[in-house]
Structure 1
Amino acid sequence: MAARFWDPDGAQYGIPTFPWKLAPDGYATRRQLRADGLRPGGQDAIQIMWYSNRRRPSGAPPVLRFAYLYRRELAKPVRPMTPAKWAALAKANAARRVCPECRTDAGYCIPTSLGMCVTCAYPEEQRAA
């Protein structure tokens, strides 16, 4: 089954593709690069592909998964956060805490599943408590 994903020249999948654990040395995922303080820096990626049995219902076929890999020696350092970026991030996080119904700071990030604070979403339960 591993030979199915062997495409080092990218003829079948469009980019060089390798099976799980058979990628060339010197490549890393975005997370691995970030852990080392690096970023891909605009370079072309290769991919690894595999079938996974995780998170699938019983009897369902395996799920096709893939991950992009980037060369470590071509990676660039992560750009530092500027004061303007820090301010924008703080403003965005503060906006996630304000309930659109009652316009108050909930003290936590509003769940996207509710779209409002818990107090506004379940007023009956709040009166009983």
Structure 2
Amino acid sequence: MTGSAEKIFEALGDPVRRYILELVADGEQAAGTVVAAVQRYTRISQPGVSQHLKVLREAGLVRVRAEGTRRFYLLDVEGVEAAQSWLAHLVDPVTQFAQPLDALATEVARGRRARKAEPGRSAGESSEPDVRHA
């Protein structure tokens, strides 16, 4: 597991942090709103919620925006995509090759079109060598 994925899944291991992610997934939330919602969810101090937010920030799962003295938290889509990518790799390890294979298919098709467009070529003529197997 990469360092980034490891931090992400360590952060997701705590139910309070998962709850915070659910809160900010609905849109940007003021720090005070997050603290109040988490305190309704479980008994925790404001510094405790701040610590959870710090872990989520360091893992790349939330971003913070400052506006004067207020802080606003929102879901960091890149962190979520990193987690999804790592999990998808477990299910289908070949997915990492999908894009390069698509590019190869495009180049093969481009080459075929270029050969067909060559002047002086009849419709049935092929530039491929005639290889016969026994």
Q: Give the number of the structure whose residues are more often strand, by fraction.
A: 1
Q: Into which bin does the TM-score normalised by the smaller protein fall?
A: under 0.3
Larger radius of gyration: 2
Structure with more relative contact order (C-alpha pairs < 8 Å, separation 6 or more) = 2
Q: Give the number of the structure whose residues are more often helix, by fraction.
A: 2
Q: TM-score, normalised by structure 1?
A: 0.24
